[in-house]
Amino acid sequence: MHKRLSPVHTVGIHSLSFLLLATALLSCSDSEQGSRTAVVSKAASDLTRNPVADAPRQAVSPTEALLAAATRGDVETVKLLLEAGVRADVRDADDATALLLAARAGHGDIVARLLDAQANIDATDRHGMTPLMAAASAGHLDVARVLVAAGAGVSAHDRMGLTALMWAEKNGHVQIETLLTPKGLSPENARVARLQRFLIELGHDPGPVDGLYGPQTATAVRDYQRQAQLPITGLVSEELMDHARQSLRERRLAHGQAGHGG
C-alpha cells in the first residue's frame, strides 16, 4: 500500500523541480490529451530519474509537492501547482491542509494565495486544529491577521478544548491575544473572559468566551471552586484567578505540553 508522505518527510523540490514543472506546463497546450495536473504529476515523478544531486529519489505527487511547497514557503511552486489544477485543500498524513501548514510556518503570502484558491479557511487536522489556531500557537501575527480578516472562526475549539486565543495565551503571544480578544471589553469583562478561557482548558464549561458573567459561567466557577476545595463564592476574585492560573501551569507540565500546536 502506498503511504502518504508528510511534507516534513518529503524531500524538497528545489529550483530543478520548479523548472521541470514549468517546462511541462508551458509545453502542454489546451488541445493536448490529459489534464494539466497529470502533466505535473509526470514532471514530478521524472525528478526521481534525474541525476542532479538535490533531486528527490522517490516519486513526488502534485499533492505532496503542494504540501511541501506550502510548508517551506515556496510561493512560485505553490502558484504553479494551483494554476495547474492541484486542489488547494489537499491534506497530509496528519490531515493538515496546505493552508494549515503554511499558517503554522508563518508564510502569509502562501496563506493569501491558498485562500484566493478557495482553500477551506477552517479545515481542521486530526487534532482539531485550524489554520488560525496554528498561526496563533506559533506566534505568527501577520498570518493571524490575514486569516481573521478573511473570516476565520475565532471561537472554534480543537480536541483539547482550546481556541486560537487560548493557544496564543498559552504560548505567550500577547499581540495575537489582543487581536483575538473581543473588542470593547472593560477591564473587568476582560478578566472574566480570561477566567472563562482558564475554565475551559481545565475541563469546565463556562459557555462562550465573551467576558460576560452569566449563569453558565457562574456555575462553572462554583464547580471549579468546589473541585479545588476553595470557598464556594462564585466570585471572580484575584485568589480565584491565581489559583486557576497555577492549576493550568501544573496541568500543562503534567501533560508535557508543548502540545500539538506548540
Q: Can you name the residues that pair with 97 across neighbouring β-strands?
A: 91
Give the pLDDT score at 175: 92
**Given this model, what pLDDT does residue 60 score?**
74
Q: How far, in Å, CA of 182 to CA of 31, rounded?
A: 53
Number of domains composing the chain: 1
Q: What is the largest CA-CA distance in the chain?
A: 77
In a domain, 137, yes or no: no
Q: Print pLDDT tens along the chain (262 aa).
A: 444 444 444 434 444 455 455 445 544 555 443 555 555 555 555 444 444 444 445 557 899 999 999 999 999 999 999 999 999 999 999 999 999 999 999 999 999 999 999 999 999 999 999 999 999 999 999 999 999 999 999 888 888 878 898 899 888 898 998 898 877 778 888 889 889 988 988 999 999 888 899 999 999 999 999 999 999 999 999 899 999 988 988 887 777 654 555 4
- Residue at 231 is within a domain: yes
In a domain, 206, yes or no: yes
Per-residue pLDDT, 35: 53
* Any domain includes 63: no
pLDDT of residue 88: 96
Residue 208 belongs to a domain: yes
The domain in which residue 235 lies consists of: 185-255
In a domain, 223, yes or no: yes
Gap between the Cα atoms of 21 and 46, Å rounded: 10
DSSP assignment of 194-252, as one string?
HHHHHHHHTT----SSSS---HHHHHHHHHHHHHTT--------HHHHHHHHHHHHHHH
pLDDT of 3 reads: 45
What's the pLDDT score for residue 163? 86
- Helix (H) and strand (E) counts for the chain? 13, 0
Residue with cell 472554534: 156
Q: What are phi and psi of 159, to 5 degrees?
A: -75, -15
Q: Is residue 248 part of a domain?
A: yes
Is residue 20 within 8 Å of 81, Cβ to Cβ? Answer: no
Q: Tell whether 230 is covered by a domain.
A: yes
* β-pair partners for 91: 97
Q: Write down the pLDDT at residue 149.
A: 94
